Copies of this chain bind each other. A is one copy, B any other.
Amino acid sequence: MGMVGGGPGSFIGLVHFNAAMLDGQINMVCGAFSSDPEKSKVTGESYFLPAERVYDSYQEMIESEKALPEGERMDFLCIATPNHVHFGPAKMALENGFHVVSDKPLTFTTAEAKELVKLVEQTGLVFAVTHAYTGYPLVKEAREMIKNGELGKIRKVVSEYPQGWLSEPIERENQTQASWRTDPKRSGKSGCMGDIGTHALHLAEYVSGLKVTQLCADLSTLVEGRPLDDDGNVLLRFNNGARGVLYASQISAGEENGLRIRVYGEKGGLDWVQAEPNRMEIKWMDRPMEIKKPGNAYLSPIAQYNCRMPAGHPEGLIEAFGNIYRNVATCIQCRLEGVEPPTEALDFPDVYDGLRGMEFIDKLVESSEAEKWVTFNH
């Protein structure tokens, strides 16, 4: 793979790298790590890349790589840039025949997202969006249990994502992560909800198998002077009549990365917390609560497919992230070999999930500004 973004100070670039390396199926062969060529070069060296494959820009990288012989050039592009630089590289990669793994949100605007959807449909290339939290084995298990009707008809979904790291205006001190995330020119029309609210939506819809059809949002800026929302609370209604709550926050001081999903059906509920990803509570009406854990034979095949370790040997976010990369690698390799990939390998967030996230942001902002319920088609 080749990487765009992920230069000095980037947290997510390194995560993409670790996740891609983990299973030994992928090598990083080139990169354009920064808009500053000097920084790109330094990062390239830290990854042991040959100087000639560390590029000054993604344009140069895509062109140069395309010129290399098949088998030598990169197979796919990993996009680990701030939001406003997702679309450009994604579009150019697709147009030049490269598969793509992009960070989320998919693009800066919904129009761009729709353009990418079209390009993917035209080219048939593999396109993954790293809503990585749905890569955890127990999230797969949750989805599978609900799909199999174990909880009965779903009635309530609570998806929450509190963080606290933007409780102070650290963007004014040029903290790398904070400064672009709170800047409408680089982040888009929403701050907190675009950054992590979209994860909470993806998790809710992925696990429940439902779609949000109406929502009422209250987006707020609690740190004075910040131009984008740093907190958002949303009422949800789903396509089967279920009700829900979704909230995301970056001013919940003291919270680290508290993504959590709870889903309740007629027969029982489930509860999964990202910060302790190796346990999931299953609550029943008439029998003791159960705790499921990875690496056990009682899990569904799709959950087991996403475990690397035996029971009691914790896996973390890099492994969940790695499950997306492993699936992408498997899909690409199957194409090279002209065979169908196994069903399990097709289970990763794609360009449609990316578009869904963009439309969600639009609807949140619309609802919040109007202070009323809005319809969210799908």
Q: Which residues of A contact B (CB under 8 A)?
A: 11, 14-15, 17-18, 21-25, 28, 47-48, 151-152, 155-156, 158, 160, 162-164, 167-168, 216, 218, 220, 222, 231, 233-237, 241-245, 247, 249, 251-258, 262, 264-269, 274-278, 281-293, 295-298, 308-319, 371-373
Cα–Cα distance between A23 and B48 once the two chains are bound (Å): 11
Cα–Cα distance between A312 and B256 once the two chains are bound (Å): 5
Cα–Cα distance between A218 and B152 once the two chains are bound (Å): 23
Contacts of A11 in B (CB 8 A): 309-310
Going nearest first, the 7 A-B pairs with the smallest beta carbon separation are A254-B283, A257-B312, A256-B312, A316-B316, A314-B316, A288-B290, A256-B311
Contacts of A236 in B (CB 8 A): 233
Residue in B235, B241, B275, B285 whose beta carbon sits within 8 Å of that of A218 in the complex: B235
Residue in B25, B216, B268 whose beta carbon sits within 8 Å of that of A253 in the complex: B268
User: Can you give 25 A-B contacts (C-beta < 8 A)?
Assistant: A21-B21, A24-B28, A152-B253, A155-B167, A158-B247, A164-B285, A167-B285, A218-B243, A220-B243, A231-B243, A249-B264, A252-B262, A253-B283, A254-B268, A254-B282, A255-B264, A257-B311, A278-B316, A290-B290, A308-B318, A309-B316, A316-B319, A318-B319, A371-B372, A372-B372
Taking a contact as CB atoms under 8 Å apart, the answer to whether A293 and B156 are in contact is no
Taking a contact as CB atoms under 8 Å apart, the answer to whether A253 and B244 are in contact is no
Contacts of A255 in B (CB 8 A): 264, 269, 283, 312
Cα–Cα distance between A21 and B155 once the two chains are bound (Å): 41
CB A191 to nearest CB in B, in angstroms, measures 14
Dominant SS among interface residues on chain A: loop
Contacts of A285 in B (CB 8 A): 164, 167-168, 253-254
* Known A21-B22, A252-B269; 10 more pairs at CB < 8 Å: A21-B21, A156-B252, A233-B236, A245-B247, A249-B264, A253-B267, A287-B290, A309-B318, A313-B317, A371-B372
Cα–Cα distance between A289 and B234 once the two chains are bound (Å): 28
By beta carbon, the residue of chain B nearest A311 is: B256
CB A140 to nearest CB in B, in angstroms, measures 15
Residue in B14, B22, B231, B291 whose beta carbon sits within 8 Å of that of A318 in the complex: B22
